[in-house]
A and B are shown apart, each in its own frame.
Chain A
């Protein structure tokens, strides 16, 4: 069984948010500023015009990190949050009691409440849409204009993502928390 992860060549990101729209359309994510599975973080620029600090304004695309040691999974009282056979961190909306513990525990603010089911939702690596149909791309990865995202099987040494992680320097977000994210930022 594959163990899916995503490598982000984040310096390519132009903050166009095609990924966010693609995700919403593919996965039926609701509208509303709080209802996103994927986002691009930006800092307000530092410096005074025209002496602005270009690097302070870099774009950081992000989403659920599909942590291998996921705090959200550990704190879930009903095991509604679980690892599926591809090690994707998923939420079973039938089991979720909306205690919101996972929302508080996720260090990445990756979770939100879906107003239809009133349960917690998040990026699923398109598991119940694209992957379920046998596709091997995610909506956000596929559509990205500057090809920031490489999605693939971390357990397959031949996969492109494995190759990337072997050959390019990369980091993970909040690595100090020991969550072991499966989102990798290529430098």
Chain B
């Protein structure tokens, strides 16, 4: 069946066919259907059906990236033909970004995973055989029980990792019930240091009220291209002399820079010096909000002394950052003149340089000096509508080893333990974990892994090492929607349906205008794909009991417990994993919002709910809606009070010192930006039309930007004889990648940049395969010392025309 049934006849042999239809299902493609399916797979982007018999509009939530914007799917005769923004959701306020619009392609991507598969070839080779769900579960059960038996029920011999997503928690409950202590997610390659930096300083990772801020410093965040809602929507409507002044601090001239009132080209990794100098000006000129500082600061005097005596002057910082001293002084004054309606934007993906944690602390403190915390136009904590939790199962496994051994003070050479970071965070350091695994520094053997909606092959610096790790694992189970590079290394592939084919856990979104939103199933899953909770329902049905039998075999505590009771009852009560997946998501969601009258119905009908929504929500103009009346908005929830345990903004964290971490943000000379002659500092980042590695095979998005190019300064390129479109090899100690050149003045002569998420090696991805350059093949695995986050901009590379 072909989607294209509009008035316009779809002619075979046209360009569209060769662009889009090139990958129409083929029997030779292992990832394609083996028989003719009645399912609809779009051959082109054109999903317009014209005269449909039945048209439905189903509210859902986008999952093309982390933002979860609300969408309404138009379904014509069972085919999703359009995704429109859902105006009722305050977080996304009637918008869908390009990726959100292209979500249909995720559903109808001809390359998507369709059936459970088991590996037949070498790891990484991409040779699989199609199996039934039962066979896949059986295979996993056998391998898992074998390993666990050999490891004497050390549940931690399995690693669980997951990417961010609405059903991440569903998978996490599996990890908890399984009883491993090895959980890794995107945190340490994403927002770990920023979240923690703000967390320990002001008690939470705040949001920014960009709708009301009058002065915004956006440093190391690219909201025009790295889309975060509602920030992206709010940040640019009043810039350019229209009510809010935006200062963009970025080594590259980004689209955010283009939209800003002033752009400061900073040397990478030197933001800490910039913020310290801003702080210096504010402290020495006494521009800070004295009342706020008096009331809510802890350790202010120490910090003041620290900054002043260290002479973190604008002049000092200008040397380090490359930003004029005069600019620093002006900005500090202007910021404070507008405070508290001034925002030093916290950012999201923070791990650029090794000093990132301290940078975020310095930023939080600087923000506090203006009093712009928990207040309109500043940083806000916002309110949240509570949901009723769903029971999870956390059995006690006596034989399960802990996550790892903490590095001791008298740590001996060769002794297993953490040496990747000072603080052990809940998320753990992915990079540190992987490297320890490869270096044989694990205190016990980890032999298998379950990977959900995560692509470590693409998302972590030093791809070669990740490949090595995946090869070393005896069992790799991947739950994904696409034949990603990581899936290529899987032993068992479990195809999840896409977000448009499932109802996911209802979620509450805090903020100035809190609400609850729900992803509703738009169409039934295609092929044999299933939502993750159904996958885990099936898996645990096979796996749960045999695993318990192993526990029974090795775990004396469990043996004891059984000895004086009914084994079956005990198992059901304490260890039966199947019960956490007994319910359908719809039922669970209803339960979660049960206490709010009409919520379940509203979520089904509108996708969104908040108390008094029917009263408050209205359209104000063509493009604007009211969610809450102004006086009902939660700009402030604690009158400006930080959410730290002490209720104070913590300038001086003495307890950090015991772990070898500066208690106050401190500049060190080794932070200085340095690039040897002939090399370039490699920067990576977002593009508005792509999400990490997850959208690289999206035909419609690729149509907008067919591949990534490396930005290289025009004059530098000229010197090297590199012209637009030339292929160059980018290499470092870690590896190399080939990419086309884009000579531009938007980047400094000693830096290069390219968009992350391209250059995949999976040949099952028709469009993404070897398309452009892969940054992580080149980026060195440098660890940020506090949380072990990946410091991604610490790699100098060489460029050679090929």
Contacts and interface: CB of A to CB of B under 8 A. Distances in A.
A and B touch in the complex (CB under 8 A): yes
Interface of A: 9, 11-12, 14-18, 20-22, 24-33, 44-45, 47-50, 52, 54, 57-59, 93, 114-117, 129, 137, 139, 141-147, 149-152, 160-161
Given A21-B701, A30-B16, A15 B224 contact: yes
Nearest to A152: B622
B382 interface: no
Contacts of B20: 31
Contact of B45 (A9, A30, A139): A30
B367 to A, nearest CB: 24
B48 A27 contact: yes
B749 A49 contact: yes
A67 B4 CA distance: 31
A147 B258 contact: no
A28 B7 CA distance: 11
B622 A32 contact: no
A28 B2 CA distance: 14
Contact of B98 (A17, A137, A150, A152): A17
Contact of B715 (A48, A146, A147, A150): A48
B54 to A, nearest CB: 14
Contact of A52 (B239, B263, B624): B263
B154 to A, nearest CB: 48
Contact of A25 (B8, B9, B10, B45): B45
A12 B15 CA distance: 34
Interface string B198-232: 00000000000000000000000000110101001
Contacts of A142: 84-85, 94
Given A25-B45, A116-B9, A146 B237 contact: yes
A45 B745 contact: yes
B615 interface: no
A87 B277 CA distance: 59
A15 B98 CA distance: 10
A147 B237 contact: yes
B96 interface: yes
A16 B235 CA distance: 14
Nearest to A135: B84
B16 A31 contact: yes
Interface in B125-158: none
B232 A14 contact: yes
Nearest to A20: B704
B720 to A, nearest CB: 16
Contact of A57 (B82, B258, B265, B704): B258
A115 B253 contact: no
B467 interface: no
26 contacts: A12-B237, A14-B225, A14-B256, A15-B224, A16-B227, A17-B98, A18-B95, A18-B96, A20-B98, A21-B704, A22-B96, A25-B104, A26-B48, A27-B48, A30-B19, A31-B19, A33-B703, A48-B715, A49-B746, A49-B749, A52-B253, A52-B263, A52-B746, A59-B255, A145-B96, A147-B624
B623 interface: yes
B768 to A, nearest CB: 16
Interface in B70-96: 81-85, 94-96
Contacts of B48: 26-28, 129
A143 B84 contact: yes
Interface in B46-64: 46-48
Nearest to B688: A16
B213 to A, nearest CB: 16
A179 B560 CA distance: 89
B260 interface: yes
Given A49-B746, A116-B14, A143-B101, A31 B232 contact: no
Contacts of B16: 30-32, 115-116
Interface of B: 4, 6, 8-11, 14-16, 19-20, 44-48, 81-85, 94-98, 100-102, 104, 224-225, 227, 229, 232-233, 236-237, 239-240, 242, 253, 255-260, 263, 265, 322, 621-624, 688-689, 699-701, 703-704, 713, 715, 744-749
A31 B745 contact: no
A14 B256 CA distance: 8
Contacts of A21: 98, 101-102, 700-701, 704
Nearest to A145: B95
B276 to A, nearest CB: 21
Contacts of B748: 49-50
A3 B44 CA distance: 33
Nearest to B17: A115
B224 A44 contact: no
A18 B98 contact: yes
Given A12-B237, A18-B101, A143-B95, A28 B227 contact: no
B100 A150 contact: no
Contacts of A20: 98, 704
Contact of B700 (A31, A93, A137): A31
A116 B11 contact: yes
Contacts of B84: 139, 142-143
A147 to B, nearest CB: 4
B95 A141 contact: no
B8 A11 contact: no
Contacts of A50: 265, 322, 748
A18 B703 contact: no
A149 B4 CA distance: 29
A28 B6 contact: yes
Contact of B233 (A27, A54, A146): A146
A98 to B, nearest CB: 14
Contacts of B746: 45, 49, 52
Contacts of A143: 84-85, 95-96, 100-101
Contact of B258 (A59, A116, A145, A150): A59
B510 to A, nearest CB: 21
A121 B84 CA distance: 23
Contacts of B98: 16-18, 20-21
Nearest to B46: A28
A49 B233 contact: no
A26 B85 CA distance: 13
B546 to A, nearest CB: 47
Contacts of A116: 8-11, 14, 16
A59 B700 CA distance: 21
B622 A160 contact: yes
Given A145-B233, A152-B622, A28 B224 contact: no
Contacts of B260: 54
Given A25-B45, A52-B263, A54-B257, A144 B622 contact: no
A32 B15 contact: yes
B45 A31 contact: yes
B15 A30 contact: yes
A128 to B, nearest CB: 8
Most A-side CB within 10 Å, residue of B95, B265, B322? B95
A14 B622 contact: no
A30 B44 contact: yes
A118 B96 CA distance: 31
A16 B97 contact: yes
A25 B700 contact: yes
A161 B715 CA distance: 46
A141 B624 CA distance: 12
A90 to B, nearest CB: 14
Contacts of A93: 8
B366 to A, nearest CB: 23
Most B-side CB within 10 Å, residue of A27, A31, A93, A145? A145
A22 B45 CA distance: 11
Nearest to A147: B623
